[in-house]
Structure formats: structure tokens, C-alpha cells
Amino acid sequence: MTGSTPSSAQSPPAAPFRLTEGPLSASQAESVLALAAAAEAADGVAPLSENALLQVRHGSGPLARDLLLTVDDAAVGYAHFDGPDDGDVSGELVVHPARRRRGYGSALIAAVIAGAAGHGIHIWAHGDLPAAAAFARSAGFTRFRALLQLRMPLAGRELPSPDFPAGVSVRTFRPGQDEEEWVAVNARAFAHHPEQGSWTRKDLELREAEPWFDPGGFFIAERDGQMAGFHWTKVHPAGGGNDAPIGEVYVVGVDPARQGGGLGRALTLAGLAHLQRLGLAEVMLYVDESNTPAVRMYTSLGFSRWHTDVMYRHS
């Protein structure tokens, strides 16, 4: 949810519109991607997460909702919601920057609420923009959760050497062999995480098919022949607000049965060293604001806050 304003939640739409719900056609998907690009250019932050964009490009899951608002056949607004998960639905919403303050955001929100069938609604506001926060409040949403983006310079930085617990070996991910075990370990490692812990093999394979996927940057820690943890790194190309390619600590997870001994920190450092060897000048990551131990570890390594994504709740 980016760029909406309080008045858009209170005013009727400025012009007749059409609101459709259901799977996106190929042409509709292209129009949504163009809409998202226009919003990112105007706001300086992407309005849709990687998960939503993958579903736009490859088709949404069976429980997902895609709502497209058009005016004279032009895409003006879009909302994507997954779920229900633990009784709630969660998703994102974007209105074209040239069509804001005209009531279209209000129309999308009303359709989302009407179709929620009594479930609570969680909606992400990427970048925590003031206009989006004001819109959320005026539409009856309250701040519920915050996801921090942290960044750290890599160029010229001397990183500590990874210190793995005794008996742990490290290798890289093997496509076509490691998927089932990784999905199981990921589910256990993120059992209380509303998004990451629900990944399926299909979610993993969609990302393996992406141009950025590199198994050489996907590190697997093993103990006694079993996967104990992992650090999956990612490289973002220049563009989309980044002047140069930037690395990402994409996912770090440790099997709860294998925790202890500093395995998570060692895996993090191994991935950071890999990104540094690639010549990247900067690295980023996302972490829940409430995950105090992880925030403390990352800040001890030199990460600092870059921006915040906020989830709002309507019940």
C-alpha cells in the first residue's frame, strides 16, 4: 500500500470504474506490473512484495484474491491478498500515482473488506510512507507489525571469519536434490513466521526459476548427514532505486533441533563473505522489528536501519 491519502478513503471515485476479481490474464498481469513500476518510480519504494509479484507473473495460489480496478480499460488500482492464514487474509494494494486522491483506493479497500468473509485483514504498507499511514487509519486499519530493512556497506569491510560448531560442514544447495529437505527445515525454522514458514516446494521452485537464483550463493550447513541450517543469498541488479547491484541476506534459518553454538551467526558470515567476494559494495536484509535477538545480531555485525515496511490490521 503506497501513495494513498486520507481523502481517497473518504471521497467517492472521481470517474466510473470497473472492478474485477479473479485470475489475471496475461495482458492484465502486464498492466499490473506496469502499474507497480509507475508507483515505485513515484514513491521510491516498490508497492508489491516479491511474493505478490511472483503470483502476478506466474498465477496466484488457490486461496489468493486478485482485484483489478480499471478506468476506460486502463489499470488504475490493484490488490492482491493471500490466505486465509490463521484466520486472517494478508496482502498489498497499489493505486496509480496519476490517479490518487480520487477514491479508487477506497473502492479497492471496500471490495477487499466485503470479500473477506468475516476474516481479519492484514495489509502491508511498504516504506511506511506518511500518506499510506494516514490512509490506513482513515480506512479503519491499525498498525500491527513492522518489518525492518537493514543495510551494511561491504566494500573495504573486514568481516569476522565464520566459526561453525564442531561437527558441522557447509556446502551449497543442490537443485533437484535438496528441495524436500529444505522445505521441511524451513517450515520448522519459521514455524511461527506467518509468511516464510508456509513456503511449499512450488514456492521454492518458482524462485529457483528466477534469473537471480544462484545455487552457489545458497549455503547449507549439515550435521550427521542432515540439513541443520541454511543461508540463501540474493543479488539485486542495479535499478529500482539502487544505483548499483546490492546483495541480500535473503533467508537464514536453523532447524530448532540444531540451534545453539552460533550456527546462525556463522551461516550469516559465510553468506556475507560470499557477497563480498562478488565485489558487491552493500548488503541488505529484512527482519521483524519484534525479533530482538536477530536485530541485535545484525546490528552487532554493522547493519543499520534503512527503511520500514508496516503491516496494518482490520478486524
Q: What confidence score (pLDDT) does residue 7 get? A: 43
67, 103 contact by CB (below 8 A): no
Instruction: Dump the DSSP string for 181-225.
Output: HHHHHHHHHTTT-TTGGG--HHHHHHHHTSTT--GGGEEEEEETT
Q: What confidence score (pLDDT) does residue 272 get? A: 98
Cell of 66: 486478485
The CA distance from 24 to 27, in Å, is: 8
Residues 88, 89, 90, 94: is their CA dihedral positive or negative?
negative
Q: What confidence score (pLDDT) does residue 280 get? A: 97
Q: Which residues contact 35 (CB under 8 A, 6 or more apart)?
A: 75, 76, 77, 78, 94, 96
List, for residues 195-253, the tens digit of each pLDDT value: 898 899 999 999 999 999 999 999 999 999 999 999 999 999 987 667 899 999 999 99
List, for residues 55-70, the tens digit of each pLDDT value: 999 999 888 999 999 9
Domains of the chain: 6-140 (3.40.630.30), 150-307 (3.40.630.30)
CA–CA distances in Å: residue 39 to residues 98, 126, 133: 9, 11, 16
Q: What confidence score (pLDDT) does residue 260 get? A: 81
Q: What confidence score (pLDDT) does residue 14 get? A: 62
Query: Mean pLDDT over residues 117-141, rounded?
Result: 91
The CA distance from 198 to 37, in Å, is: 28
Above 50 in pLDDT, residue 147? yes
Above 80 in pLDDT, residue 312? yes
Cell of 292: 530482538
Amino acid at 134: A
Q: For the chain, what is the mean pLDDT?
A: 92
Above 70 in pLDDT, residue 11? no
Q: What confidence score (pLDDT) does residue 8 get? A: 42
Query: Mean pLDDT over residues 164-168, rounded?
Result: 95
